Chain A
């Protein structure tokens, strides 16, 4: 209750200013929306479909023209019921009985999704002709035959590589654990708003976590394979970094969701603050933490396989080598091994998580 009233008083602005902001945002949305429609229509429907160009030239003038046209159309239609921006910002009076299903702005929205779908087909070069071409089908037959006749001669190195992958994922998870545990507290809003210093730390931690999390482990693996050399260590570091930021986020959300009741009750008994945390907070978070961590190990094993492809060691690296040599029977065996590991990890991690609920 306290929090709500605080945010309400913070969010208050003079009514006219707030309305003005909404109108401007609505117009910007319209402008960008029409610019997008113009640009996509020109590049895909005019240049590709009508003119039949394979790879049309691009110049930076095009988006500029598109924005200008977008501004013109957006302005022209802003006061009709075609304005998606006004609909999003809630500036239309909506007839409750009619709903919005048949409103012009809804239809315009459908149209945008439709042209995006068509443009997507062209951009991803979807081609049924190539999918069913004779040479293509022959190739598919060759690779599938090889995959279903795996070469069991390399089963020994494959198993060792798989073990390397599982252990690499395990070590990455374990090393990430204490860091994530600590950052989890720093990133929990309910514990960090007490003083400006804590709030600064909270924001700093959030910023760091968001940055590391938004860079894919694949990219970290490439960076670390240059740094410490190709091999499991690089892969482990990449997974570790990503695990820290992901786990810390999950942990902090868990701390934000605990019930205040036990904390209040422990405080009321006259317990020391450390006892309050140990008896009031920890029992509420320990099982979700365990569950998240096991799930993370499961994810790390899968990711370790992919990371191996860029030189992170383990079974992924082995897969990349045989694929490069076009030895499809060996690739087949590795694919089966990977499928088995992933299935076993998935199954056992979900069973463990179920049993500790």
Chain B
């Protein structure tokens, strides 16, 4: 019996403008798996991820994280929940004009005091951990470079290090390679795989390319117009499923 880290039950999300982004989505995430969410742009993938760490408020439904109901917590409990969920983004979302080290250290904001962090004071062990993580993502020697001067792939690796700084039990990745070229995409996915296998961090990742899904995912769910329409192993997605998920006219493009 595998242990569940996240349980999503009948999740609905309606935006103020009436867009019904998620329609009763239910699924579980097992500890240690690499779960990939696929679907067209606008199918609700990003909304789903943002509901889990409550960057967006779910309209109805329940989310349990490590056994606790987190659907409507607020304030300090919410911040402490977010600190246990790492997140990386399509556009990296690093802080411009700050060094790689500072960017990685922002992963510790929730456990370090407001005043100290504003004056840039971080504990020595956090700094050491940050240096170790910068090395882990293959950027040693670049810790004092400005983050916005790095290439896209390097910026995404800084973002991974920042997320790992939180000691997360799960990592949400929202289209982590969508703005990268094929070679860099693979390198970033390799780092995510490494994080998953070596550090045992559960990964919930949105992806576009099926070839990447087949290569890295241990399990797949698919969204279409806010409905969950597929749940299974990546190898089971055949031509028929592909056209159901992406539409009749879709042609599969590979990335290698």
Q: Which chain A residue has the least Cβ–Cβ distance from B102?
A: A279
Question: Which chain A residues border B159 with CB–CB below 8 Å?
Answer: 265
B53 part of interface (Cβ distance < 8 Å): yes
Contact of B109 among A2, A9, A264, A272 (CB under 8 A): A272
Name the contact of A2 in the complex, choosing from B17, B86, B162 (C-beta under 8 A). Answer: B17
- Closest residue of B by beta carbon distance from A5: B17
- A265–B179 alpha-carbon span in the complex (Å): 17
Inter-chain residue pair count (beta carbon < 8 A): 87
Taking a contact as CB atoms under 8 Å apart, the answer to whether A269 and B166 are in contact is yes
Whether A275 lies near B109 (C-beta < 8 A) is: yes
How many residues of B are counted as interface, with CB atoms below 8 angstroms from the partner's CB atoms?
37
Beta-carbon contact of A269 and B93 below 8 Å:
no
Question: CB within 8 A of A268: which of B16, B55, B91, B117?
Answer: B55
- Which residues of B lie under 8 Å from residue A272 when comparing CB positions? 79, 109-110, 114
Docked complex Cα distance between A149 and B35 (Å): 83
The reply to whether A266 and B109 contact each other, CB–CB distance below 8 Å, is yes
- Chain A residues positioned under 8 Å from B202 (CB to CB): none
Check A268 against B87 for contact (C-beta < 8 Å). yes
Please classify the interface of chain B as helix (H, G, I), strand (E, B), loop, or mixed, using the class held by over half of its residues: loop
Residue in A262, A269, A284, A287 whose CB lies within 8 Å of B83: A269
Residue A312 interfacial (CB < 8 Å): no
Q: Give the complex CA separation of A268 and B107 in angstroms.
A: 9
A278 within 8 A of B: yes
Asked if A283 lies at the interface with its beta carbon under 8 angstroms from chain B, I say yes
Interface string of A172-209 (1 = CB under 8 A from B): 00000000000000000000000000000000000000
By a CB distance below 8 angstroms, the chain B residues around A271 are 79, 106, 109-110
Contact A269 B106 (CB under 8 A): yes
Chain B residue contacts of A268, Cβ below 8 A: 53, 55, 82, 85-87
- 22 A-B pairs within 8 Å (CB atoms) are namely A5-B18, A6-B17, A9-B17, A262-B94, A264-B55, A264-B93, A265-B95, A265-B162, A267-B55, A267-B82, A269-B166, A270-B82, A270-B110, A270-B166, A271-B109, A272-B109, A274-B114, A275-B118, A279-B95, A279-B98, A279-B109, A284-B96
Interface residues of B (CB under 8 A from A): 15-19, 53, 55, 78-87, 89, 91-98, 106-107, 109-110, 114, 117-118, 159, 162-163, 166
Known: A265-B93, A265-B95, A269-B87. 9 other contacts (CB 8 A): A6-B16, A6-B17, A269-B110, A272-B109, A275-B109, A279-B98, A279-B117, A280-B95, A283-B97
